[in-house]
C-alpha cells in the first residue's frame, strides 16, 4: 500500500519511546493512520500539530498493517493554539473528525469544509467570523454519516415557512404554528441555518445546542467523554467571550 497526498493532521498519539501514531484526513483516501518514526522529536513534533496541512506518504506491505508515515509541512496553524478561542475550535474540530470518521473512506465534502473552517478561523479577526461555519460543519458531518437533519420543511405539516424549532427526536424542523404548546420540548432553530447569512451569538449557541444533541446521541456514543469534553471547553470559552 502506497499513498502520497496532502492531509490535515487530526490526532497524534505517542507510541513507544520516540514514535507517534498519527491520524490525518486526505481528500481522496479519507482518514489514514500511520506511524511516524521520531514523531516526538524536536524536528518532527512541531509538524504534527492538529489542523496542520502536510504532505504525507504512507507505505505498508499489506492493507492490514499500520503504515509507516513520513510528513512534510505545507502550512502550520500552530500559532493559533496560543489564542484560547481559536485553539479550542481547532481542537474540537479535529477531535470530532478523528473520532467520527471511519478509516479509509473518502469524504471529499467534509475535507473541503474542514479546510474552509480552518481557513476561516485563521483569517477572521474574531470568533464571530467562524462560529457559524463551525455549526455548519457539524451539520455536514452528521449528514455525511447518515444522520442528516431536515431543516427545509416542517416535519408535521410539510410547510416551508415559519420554521422555528427542531424536533430532538426526528431531527426535522417544526414551524412555530405546529409546535404550539410543545415548543418547550423542542430545540430552537436559528434563522441562519434556514436562510443563510450571518449569525448573532444567541443563534450560534442555539445551533450548537442542536448539533450537540445529535452528535452525542448518534455519532459519539462510544467515544463520548473525551470528545465531548473538548466541545464543552469550546462552548464555555464562547460563552465567556460574549458575556
pLDDT tens profile 53-72: 999 999 999 878 899 999 99
CATH of the domain at 51: 2.40.50.140
Residues 119 and 219 in one domain: yes
Residues 24 and 63 in one domain: yes
Residues 27 and 130 in one domain: no
Could you tell me the residue range of the domain that residue 154 belongs to?
79-242
Q: If you average pLDDT over residues 217-239, what whole number do you get?
A: 89
Residues 153 and 101 in one domain: yes
pTM equals 0.95
Distance of CA 20 to the CA centre of its chain: 22
Cell of 167: 424536533
* pLDDT for the residue numbered 224: 67
Residues 99 and 138 in one domain: yes
CATH of the domain at 184: 1.20.1440.120
Which of 76, 92, 112 terminates a domain? The answer is 76
Q: Model confidence over 147-182: pLDDT tens digits?
A: 999 999 999 999 999 999 999 999 999 999 999 999
Which of 47, 76, 105 terminates a domain? The answer is 76
- pLDDT of 33 > 90? The answer is yes
Residues 174 and 147 in one domain: yes
Residues 213 and 144 in one domain: yes
Residues 223 and 202 in one domain: yes
Q: Model confidence over 6-17: pLDDT tens digits?
A: 999 999 999 878
Say how many domains are in the chain.
2
**22 vs 133: CA distance, rounded Å:** 26
- pLDDT of 31 > 70? The answer is yes
Residues 158 and 193 in one domain: yes
**116 vs 111: CA distance, rounded Å:** 9
* pLDDT for the residue numbered 83: 95
- pLDDT of 118 > 70? The answer is yes
What is the SS3 assignment for 32?
Answer: strand
Q: Smallest Cα–Cα separation from 136: which of 78, 183, 190?
A: 190
Which of 30, 53, 76 terminates a domain? The answer is 76
Amino acid at each position: 500500500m502506497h499513498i502520497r497526498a496532502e492531509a490535515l493532521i487530526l490526532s497524534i498519539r505517542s507510541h513507544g519511546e520516540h514514535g507517534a501514531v498519527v491520524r490525518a484526513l486526505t481528500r481522496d483516501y479519507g482518514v489514514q493512520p500511520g506511524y511516524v518514526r521520531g514523531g516526538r522529536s524536536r524536528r518532527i513534533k512541531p509538524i504534527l500539530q492538529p489542523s496542520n496541512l502536510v504532505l504525507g506518504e504512507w507505505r505498508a506491505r499489506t492493507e492490514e498493517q499500520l503504515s509507516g508515515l513520513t510528513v512534510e509541512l505545507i502550512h502550520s496553524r500552530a500559532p493559533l493554539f496560543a489564542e484560547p478561542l481559536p485553539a479550542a475550535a481547532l481542537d474540537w474540530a479535529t477531535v470530532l473528525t478523528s473520532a467520527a470518521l471511519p478509516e479509509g473512506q473518502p469524504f471529499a465534502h467534509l475535507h473541503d469544509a474542514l479546510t474552509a473552517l480552518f481557513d476561516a478561523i485563521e483569517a477572521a479577526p474574531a470568533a464571530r467570523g467562524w462560529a457559524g461555519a463551525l455549526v455548519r460543519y457539524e451539520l455536514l458531518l452528521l449528514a455525511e454519516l447518515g444522520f442528516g437533519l431536515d431543516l427545509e420543511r416542517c416535519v408535521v405539516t410539510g410547510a416551508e415557512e415559519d420554521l422555528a424549532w427542531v424536533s430532538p427526536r426526528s431531527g426535522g424542523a417544526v414551524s412555530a404554528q405546529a409546535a404550539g404548546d410543545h415548543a418547550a420540548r423542542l430545540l430552537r432553530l436559528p434563522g441562519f441555518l434556514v436562510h443563510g447569512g450571518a449569525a448573532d451569538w444567541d443563534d450560534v449557541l442555539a445551533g450548537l445546542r442542536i448539533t450537540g444533541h445529535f452528535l452525542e446521541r448518534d455519532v459519539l456514543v462510544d467515544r463520548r467523554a473525551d470528545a465531548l469534553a473538548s466541545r464543552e471547553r469550546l462552548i464555555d470559552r464562547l460563552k465567556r467571550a460574549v458575556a
